[in-house]
Amino acid sequence: MTQELAPTLRDQPAARSAGWWRDAVIYQVYVRSFADSDGDGIGDLRGVRDRLPHLADLGVDAVWLTPFYASPQADGGYDVADYRSVDPLFGDLRDAGDLVGEAHRLGLRVIVDIVPNHTSDRHAWFRAALTGGPGAPERGLYHFRPGRGEQGELPPNDWESVFGGPAWTRTDTGDWYLHLFAPEQPDLNWEHPAVREEFTSVLRFWLDLGVDGFRVDVAHGMIKAAGMPDIGMREQAKMIGAQVLPFFDQDGVHEIHRSWRRLLDSYDGERIGVAEAWAPTPERLALYVRPDELHQAFNFQFLTCDWDATAMRGVIDASLAATRSVGAPTTWVLSNHDVVRHTTRYGGGPAGLGRARAAALLALALPGSAYVYQGEELGLPEVADLPDAVRQDPAFFRGDGQDGLRDGCRVPLPWSGSSQPFGFGPGGSWLPQPDSWKELTVEAQTGDPGSTLELYRSAIALRKELPGLGDGEMEWLPAPEGVLAFARPGLVCTLNTLSAKAPLPVPGRPLLSSAALEFTGGTARIPGGTCVWWAV
Ligand code: GLC
Ligand code: MG
């Protein structure tokens, strides 16, 4: 039986090629909620800088910072009023430079968010477009259109905002402007050369400051179908990622990414671009990471996959096949600032946490690059019961109260101590933290071998040590129903997705397990919802 699980993988050094990003572990910092240095209850750049040692200890390769630019914060900073300045909430340009410098000193790369699909309605361009009236040249930088109906009282087409309601808002002069997100986020017109020139210059600004790359927000949205045709269906947000829409995943976006790749390549130090792209299939997603486009794209199919062995295997195979076809690495993403934390998605409570720990070991064992969203290394659950009065997510105010409640995954991190704000900063915390988080602080988990934090630390450290992890090939091994088993060079990874224990022939020496194992003779009893790494 032992032989059944033995790896037959050929060593494939040829599959490995240069590029730090091909197997990087990238940690997402949601700046507002990571660490606060000045006591205003809102995380900031100095707070991040002061806590960088936590990330160095964790062993990640890079940090992705969510937007910290000047912004009225209508959508947590994804509404940028000035792309070349830091919002006073988060610090100033010097703090940004210090943060990048300190990260580099600790061996961490820094990726910043760039938001090209839309600006804030307070951006100088949009203000000029509004105040200048219908003849203002700045109107050409956005999508202004006359309305339909006798008096132009109906929106120009039937497109809906991702946050709910129409994607159009009427101006005082009677025409309408397009915003695929909140009304405070007017969409830019990427057919206009000035828009392209401006973003090239903004990217240069941050590259010159030393950043190692960009996470490209809504990388699938910049180009709209010619003529902006009606869709003819309601609840369009539910189709995002399921089909090409006239406002998402249009082929024209790729030319923009190609030009950005040329710009990135003109700098030294392997600067990268990461696409936040919701594409209907892994094949269409792979188009964003062709050799002359961006380096990585978030694999949302993996994030949205159910806790089910067959479904997971299908997504893993499809993701790897698609990225392999273009020579790019796959990314493994379980959580981010827009979705319910995976501990809760996988059922919550001890079982949900167990699965989340197992999923982390799975993600870190698969070929490619892995993302860690702040707090998942602490096993934080979603905070579901926030009072409406403290919520800030624009989706909450525009939606029907069902979807799009994104504040619950954005609650500030617990660092230390036994009462709020748990070391988040010298003041309070912009969203209340549950009292139970005193058990989940970095301080409480450090040194506890059973803690989720130590599990992540061990897994990331092993990933660096073992040459068979990271970039390269994998091979499925036979396994009972509900169990996944695959080989990487020198390692076998097994995941029991069932709730019951699964007996398995011992495939090797256990290196790391997300829960305690039992052995009888040559058989290991893997608890439900557990992932194990075995040395072979
Ligand atoms: C992306 C961001 C999300 C933001 C949206 C609009 O999806 O991740 O937080 O609301 O873009 O910029
Ligand atoms: Mg602050």
pLDDT tens per residue across span 47-66: 999 999 999 999 999 999 99
Q: Model-level pTM? A: 0.95
> What is the distance between the alpha carbons of residues 326 and 535, in angstroms, rounded to a whole number?
31
Element (H, E) at 510: strand 509-513
* Extended strands (E) in 217-364: 272-275, 296-297, 331-332
Q: Where are the domains of the chain?
A: 2-116+193-463, 124-178, 473-535
Ligand 2 ion: nearby residues, β-carbon < 5 Å:
36, 38, 40, 42, 44
Residue nearest to atom 6 of ligand 1 (CA): 78
Residue type, 285: L
Ligand 1 atom nearest the C-alpha of 406 is 9
Report the b/e string of 62-84 with b at 16+ CB within 10 A.
bbbbbbbbbbebbbbbbbbbbbe
- SS3 breakdown of the chain: % helix, strand, coil, rounded to 5? 30, 15, 50
Give the domain 473-535 fold. Answer: Immunoglobulin-like (2.60.40)
Of 112, 214, 218, 407, the one to substitute when testing ligand 1's pocket (max ligand atoms within 8 A of C-beta) is: 218
156-183 pLDDT per residue, tens: 999 999 988 999 999 999 999 999 999 9
Q: Please tell me the predicted confidence (pLDDT) of residue 404.
A: 52
Residues in a beta bridge with 231:
none
3-state SS track over 368-430: CEEEEECCHHHCCCCCCCCCHHHCCCHHHHHCCCCCCCCHHHCCCCCCCCCCCCCCCCCCCCC
Q: Please tell me the predicted confidence (pLDDT) of residue 388.
A: 87
Active-site hit among 44, 75, 217, 376: 217
The mean pLDDT of the chain is 94
Of 75, 185, 407, the one to substitute when testing ligand 1's pocket (max ligand atoms within 8 A of C-beta) is: 75
Ligand 1 centre from 217 Cα, in Å?
Answer: 6
Q: Which ligand is nearest to the CA of 412?
A: 2
Catalytic status, residue 276? yes
> What is the distance between the alpha carbons of residues 88 and 44, in angstroms, rounded to a whole number?
9
> What is the distance between the alpha carbons of residues 211 and 88, in angstroms, rounded to a whole number?
20
Element (H, E) at 524: strand 523-526
Question: Torsions phi, psi of 328, nearest 5?
Answer: -100, 160
Show the DSSP H helices in 6-81 as ranges.
Answer: 45-50, 52-58
Ligand 2 centre from 99 Cα, in Å?
Answer: 15
Ligand 1 centre from 421 Cα, in Å?
Answer: 26
| DSSP strand pairing (483-488 vs 491-496) | antiparallel
Give the domain 2-116+193-463 fold. Answer: TIM Barrel (3.20.20)
Contact assessment for residue 279 and residue 251, using Cβ atoms and an 8 Å cutoff: no
Ligand 2 centre from 66 Cα, in Å?
Answer: 15
Contacts of 240 (CB under 8 A, 6+ apart): 162, 248, 278
Q: Please tell me the predicted confidence (pLDDT) of residue 401.
A: 44
Q: Which ligand is nearest to the CA of 427?
A: 2
Ligand 1 atom nearest the C-alpha of 118 is 12
Contact assessment for residue 454 and residue 19, using Cβ atoms and an 8 Å cutoff: no
Of 78, 161, 215, 216, the one to substitute when testing ligand 1's pocket (max ligand atoms within 8 A of C-beta) is: 78
CB atoms within 10 A of CB 233: 11
Q: Which ligand is nearest to the CA of 67?
A: 1
CATH of 124-178, one of 3.30.70.270, 2.40.50.140, 3.90.400.10, 3.40.50.880: 3.90.400.10
Query: Which SS3 state, helix, strand or coil, does residue 488 take?
Result: strand
Contact assessment for residue 298 and residue 275, using Cβ atoms and an 8 Å cutoff: yes
Query: Which SS3 state, helix, strand or coil, does residue 185 take?
Result: coil
Of 112, 118, 163, 181, the one to substitute when testing ligand 1's pocket (max ligand atoms within 8 A of C-beta) is: 181
Query: Which SS3 state, helix, strand or coil, does residue 163 take?
Result: coil
Active-site hit among 276, 293, 377, 473: 276
Element (H, E) at 26: strand 25-29
Ligand 1 atom nearest the C-alpha of 163 is 10
Residues in a beta bridge with 373:
28
Contact assessment for residue 24 and residue 107, using Cβ atoms and an 8 Å cutoff: no
Residue nearest to atom 2 of ligand 1 (CA): 217
Ligand 2 centre from 28 Cα, in Å?
Answer: 18
Q: Please tell me the predicted confidence (pLDDT) of residue 11.
A: 36
Contact assessment for residue 470 and residue 23, using Cβ atoms and an 8 Å cutoff: yes
Torsion 369-375-380-385 (CA) sign: negative
Contacts of 493 (CB under 8 A, 6+ apart): 361, 362, 365, 484, 485, 486, 487, 531, 532, 533, 534
What's the full length of the chain, in residues? 536
Q: pLDDT tens per residue, the chain (536 residues)?
A: 333 333 333 333 333 347 999 999 999 999 999 999 999 999 999 999 999 999 999 999 999 999 999 999 999 999 999 999 999 999 999 999 999 999 999 999 999 999 999 999 999 999 999 999 999 999 999 999 999 999 999 999 999 999 889 999 999 999 999 999 999 999 999 999 999 999 999 999 999 999 999 999 999 999 999 999 999 999 998 888 888 899 999 999 999 999 999 999 999 999 999 999 999 999 999 999 999 999 999 999 999 999 999 999 999 999 999 999 999 999 999 999 999 999 999 999 999 999 999 999 999 999 999 999 999 999 999 999 898 889 888 887 776 544 558 999 999 999 999 999 999 999 999 999 999 999 999 999 999 999 999 999 999 999 999 999 999 999 999 999 999 999 999 999 999 999 999 999 999 999 999 999 999 999 999 999 999 999 99
CB atoms within 10 A of CB 508: 18
Ligand 1 atom nearest the C-alpha of 181 is 6
Residue nearest to atom 4 of ligand 1 (CA): 78
| DSSP strand pairing (491-496 vs 530-535) | antiparallel
Ligand 1 centre from 31 Cα, in Å?
Answer: 14
Q: Which value, in Å, is the radius of gyration of the alpha carbons in the chain?
A: 23
Contact assessment for residue 460 and residue 361, using Cβ atoms and an 8 Å cutoff: no
Ligand 1 atom nearest the C-alpha of 115 is 12
Residue 328 carries which DSSP code? Answer: P
Residue nearest to atom 7 of ligand 1 (CA): 218
Q: Which ligand is nearest to the CA of 89?
A: 2
Ligand 1 centre from 78 Cα, in Å?
Answer: 6
Contacts of 490 (CB under 8 A, 6+ apart): 466, 467, 468, 535, 536
Q: What is the DSSP string of 81-116?
A: SEEEEE-TTT--HHHHHHHHHHHHHTT-EEEEEE--
Residues within 6 Å of ligand 1 by CB: 75, 78, 115, 181, 217-218, 276, 337-338
Ligand 1 centre from 402 Cα, in Å?
Answer: 18
